[in-house]
Amino acid sequence: MRRNLLYARRLFGDIGPLNTDPVRNLPGRIIAPAVSIDGVYQDYDEASDDQHYAIGSRMVVDDRVYHYGSAGATLNPGYGAKNVLPQHVAFAAIGGCTEGEYTVVVTVGATDGVLGDGVIDEDELVGGYIVIFTAGNNAINRRIVGNTVVDGPNPMTVTVDRPWPLDVADTEHAECMASPYLLVQTGNFPVASVMGMPQQIATVNQFIWLQTWGPTWVVPGGAWIGNDNRWAVFLGNGSIQEYTWGDGLVQQAQLAGFILCNGQAGAAGAPFLQLMIAP
């Protein structure tokens, strides 16, 4: 009973007058899904060899938000961790969708999969997304909750979180991606997007919370904040730089957030950043 009440508080937040977590006596947290998959609690500053939450799980801590991910290589906490995985399935034929059902058969191509060899492991796409194209280009977007294994160009059954709203003919197509928090990496990946800031050094295949919103610090690179310029963007290596109109290096860069405060006499300071990736 006590554990159930604790899980409820983690899911919905503490509703008491002090808004405190009864275990830590700290501001109440929200974790969704609330229940660890193995009953072990992993805090936002811990790296683990074992997976304790579903990839993509969300934790709210005071003004900060975290999402649960895995490391594809050693992560450096000063740099943004990027989704370096390519889209798993390109424009692929489907076996058709039936209104009210949760599955669709997708024909995986010979160049699909992470390595471009047509291989996708069972449930590798869980936490990712599928888009089904329909007549009139009315797309259906769903979260993936399961997929069958496919070894080379073959059919793969994808299970989604909500039923199909209509029948879709087997002449239509689909595209799939895995969770963007899966096997993230820090490093110079100019065509990859930052998904969050690691809170601890994590080695390959470890599991870690990635900060996606709220006050944080990121390694600054290049020029920094001038008068009336609060906008920070990520560079190709996951550091941040001020956004300057007309600067080819940052003109189309990913938004990181805005600067919270400067140092004395307008100096750059740390700088502390209001991270703005996923609230």
* DSSP characters over 202-249: B-TT-EEEEEEEEEEE--B-SS---TT--EEEE-TTS-EEE--TT-TT
- Rounded to the nearest angstrom, the gap between the alpha carbon of residue 252 and the centroid of all alpha carbons in its chain is 21
Burial of 107 (0-12, 13-18, 19+ CB in 10 A): middle
What's the whole-number mean pLDDT along residues 206-216? 97
Average pLDDT across the chain, whole number = 89
Residue 163, preceding peptide bond in cis (omega within 30° of 0): no
Task: Give the pLDDT of residue 230.
Answer: 86
Residue 16's pLDDT band (cuts 50, 70, 90): very low
Strands 173-177 and 129-132: antiparallel
Are residues 146 and 104 in contact, defined by beta-carbon separation less than 8 angstroms? no
Please name the amino acid found at residue 137.
N
Q: Is the pLDDT of residue 14 over 50?
A: no
- Tens of pLDDT, residue by residue over 156-172, are 999 999 999 999 999 99
By C-alpha distance, which of 45, 39, 70 is closest to 57? 70
Q: Shortest CA distance to 58 belongs to which of 157, 155, 127?
A: 127
Phi-psi region of 29 (alpha: psi -120 to 50; beta: other; left: phi over 0): beta
Partners of 240 in beta bridges = 220, 234
What are the structural domain ranges in the chain?
2-77+194-213, 89-177, 216-276
Read off the pLDDT of each residue in 72-88 and give the average, rounded to a whole number: 97
How far is residue 91's CA from residue 132's CA, in Å, rounded to a whole number? 10
Question: Can you give the pLDDT at residue 26?
Answer: 66
What's the alpha-carbon Rg for the chain, to the nearest Å? 21
Q: Give the pLDDT mean for 54-81.
A: 95
Gap between the Cα atoms of 123 and 150, Å rounded = 10
The pLDDT of residue 187: 95
pLDDT at 251 over 90: no
- End-to-end, the C-alpha distance of the chain in Å comes to 31
Q: Residue 16 contacts by C-beta under 8 Å, 6 or more apart in sequence?
A: none
DSSP state of 156: E
Q: What is the phi/psi pair of residue 220, to 5°? A: -85, 140
Please give the Cα distance from 163 to 150 (Å, whole number).
Answer: 23
Structure tokens at 185: 């990496």
| Residue-level pLDDT at 18 | 42
Q: Rounded mean pLDDT of 122-143?
A: 93
With beta carbons less than 8 A apart as the criterion, state whether 212 and 61 touch. Answer: no
| Cα three-residue angle 237-276-15, rounded to 5 degrees | 135
Pairwise CA distance, residues 199 & 204, whole Å: 15
| pLDDT tops 70 at residue 79 | yes
For residue 35, pLDDT over 90 is answered with no
- 64 compared with 30, residue with greater pLDDT: 64
Mean pLDDT across the stretch 253-278? 89
Kindly state the DSSP code that residue 27 receives in the 8-state scheme.
Answer: B
Q: What integer pLDDT is reported at residue 265 of this predicted model? A: 77
Rounded to an integer, the average pLDDT of 23-29 is 69
